[in-house]
């Protein structure tokens, strides 16, 4: 793998992290769910022991939530390329909801290249500080 190919993968995966935050804040649930591989797994920072398996179940989890206004701020993004179709990532996340104290946490991601492009194979969130 060339340095240019590695940088392209890093960029694509970092873009997924930012896009996830932006689409989530806009409540564009179909598009958020589409960022996952068909068999992707989502683990919410607020429910670390309740993984959600599969794109359809992830979409259902988002659409079943009550409406709210949010702003996700992601930083400290580091992507480690493991191969031409696999990468891992870490990012710090700050969630503002307006009604409650901000949540501070992180995501550990597994990215996989699919026929749709790079997607989350697994997105595992955790809270750094308990609410």
pLDDT digit string, tens, across residues 25-54: 999 999 999 999 999 999 999 899 999 999
Mean pLDDT for the chain overall: 95
108 and 88 Cβ atoms separated by less than 8 Å: yes
pLDDT at 98: 81
Domain architecture of the chain: domains with CATH: 3-127 (3.10.450.50)
61 and 50 Cβ atoms separated by less than 8 Å: no
Whose structure tokens read 């996700």?
Answer: 72
- C-alpha–C-alpha distance, residues 121 and 86, integer Å: 9
φ and ψ at residue 95, rounded to 5 degrees: -115, 120
pTM of the model: 0.93
């Amino acid at each position: 793998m060339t340095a240019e190919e590695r940088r392209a993968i890093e960029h694509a995966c970092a873009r997924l992290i930012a896009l996830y935050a932006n689409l989530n804040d806009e409540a564009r649930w179909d598009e958020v769910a589409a960022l996952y591989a068909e068999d992707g797994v989502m683990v919410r920072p607020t429910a670390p022991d309740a993984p959600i398996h599969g794109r359809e179940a992830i979409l259902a989890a988002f659409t079943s939530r009550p409406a709210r206004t949010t702003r996700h701020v992601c930083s400290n993004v580091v992507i480690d390329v493991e191969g031409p179709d696999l990468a891992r990532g870490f990012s710090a996340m700050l969630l503002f909801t307006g009604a409650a104290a901000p949540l501070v946490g992180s995501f550990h991601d597994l990215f996989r290249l699919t026929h749709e492009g790079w997607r989350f194979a697994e997105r595992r969130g955790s809270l750094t500080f308990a609410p």
